Structure 1
Amino acid sequence: MDVLFLLIPLSVVLVLLIIIVFAWAVFSGQFDDLEREGERIFEADGKPLDRDQTPPPGLR
């Protein structure tokens, strides 16, 4: 029973921390354009590789 005096305040602090992090993510624009980030992987970027990098096997 004594452990509840420790676990309840810790769980309240954890919930508040999760709410604060979620609010920060929402207000900083992390969820503004979800489709764009998903499609970005399919676009070819024009950046050349460094000399020590090799292209992936499918792009040689």
Structure 2
Amino acid sequence: MGKMNVTNDTMLSLFAEMVLDEAVRNFKEKRLYQEIDHALASGDESSFLALTTELNLLRSQVK
């Protein structure tokens, strides 16, 4: 019975980590979109390019 609890705890811990990772990734993506919009509005080409590169890197790390 003890082994089963350890297995369930491990699975729940992994699931919680996955949910947290997804939430952090979504937060970063939303923040990048806001910063990209700001860079576009202010005509800051270098920030726009850096931020879109960062966004593309973040997206490539998913799944």
- Larger helix percent: 2
Which structure's CA Rg is the greater one? 1
- When normalised by structure 1's length, the TM-score is 0.47
